[in-house]
Structure 1
Amino acid sequence: MKKVAIIGANGKSGSALVAEALRQGYDVTGFARNKEYKNGAIKLVHKDVFELSKADLAGFDVVISAIAAWTPQTFPLHAKMT
């Protein structure tokens, strides 16, 4: 079974990706900074994207970033995160 990490699992895109990954039978771990976010169907790590380390993402077959940074002002955050 493929292990999938979804960064920003609690957002609109992230939630849709979590649902699809579960539908396809993947072992899903979600990463979210919002400590109030709960999802009993997946493993969940509460951590800000800019605090993630290589070790946090080790062992996953796929890592998906679903962070919401799509305005001209916030788009550079994707490069910073990567």
Structure 2
Amino acid sequence: MNLGIIGATGKTGNAVLQVALDRRINVTAIVRNETRLTIDVPTIEKDIFSLTAEDLRPFDAVICTFASSKKSDYPRVNQHLTDILTGTDTRLIVVGSGSTLFIDDSRTKTVGDKLPIIMRNSSRNHLKARQILQNSNIDWTYMAPPMNYLPSGDKTGYYQTGHDVLLHDHNGNSSISYADMALALVDELQHPQNEKQLMTVAWE
């Protein structure tokens, strides 16, 4: 399998990169600045909006871990990626936002609906980005983290999966570490269960 990781120098991207290499997946890091890479792998050094269909053609799958403080970038990123992947067999897995998840099985309110008003514009942009994937003709998966996404959390190797509703563990917490999120992403890559679906994970 040939995998491209967009944002491989970020926290999520780097965690995914390490898991993929451990599993002997052929990985290319797609980054804006390859000098920030701490692992020696093939690279494509480009801004995400400069990527072309030809750049992504060699990959069986692309995992996008793009992150930006400019929230209006998220819909633009997904639109650009779906545009250049349309008509190909390349699978796109996007790490999105937990704010798009429903709070409970009633599916009447999202996490974003409960956020302070000042943060709701961010949530709306993430939702727009998700909907671009849902309305596309590519092979996509949108992975939303739980409420607490922990950079320094343990790698337990255990997690539960769901689709569009926020998950909680047996203590009522909605959390996962970057390390276990990376495991879940690579597990989904190697053993697809959520093609053209929403996906979320959390510790059990």
| CA 1:5–1:13: 2 relative to 1, 3 Å | same
| CA 1:40–1:16: 2 relative to 1, 3 Å | closer
What is the match of residue 34 of structure 1?
33
| CA 1:35–1:19: 2 relative to 1, 3 Å | closer
CA distance in 2, matches of 1:46, 1:60: 16
**TM-score of the aligned structures, taking structure 1 as reference length:** 0.82
Larger radius of gyration: 2
| CA 1:38–1:70: 2 relative to 1, 3 Å | closer
Q: Choose 33-42 or 46-55, whichever is displaced more.
A: 33-42
Q: Give the counterpart letter for 2:40 in structure 1.
A: A
| CA 1:5–1:57: 2 relative to 1, 3 Å | same
Deviation at 1:75, TM superposition (A): 3.4
> Deviation string for 1:19-63 (max 9, x for gaps)?
010011101000110243234431011100000000000121111
Higher helix share: 2
CA distance in 2, matches of 1:49, 1:72: 15
1:53 aligns with 2:39: no
SS of 2:4's equivalent in the other structure is: strand
> Over aligned residues, Cα RMSD in angstroms?
2.0
Unaligned runs of 5+ residues in structure 1 are none
Aligned residue pairs, count:
81
**TM-score of the aligned structures, taking structure 2 as reference length:** 0.36
1:3 aligns with 2:26: no
Percentage of pairs with the same residue? 32
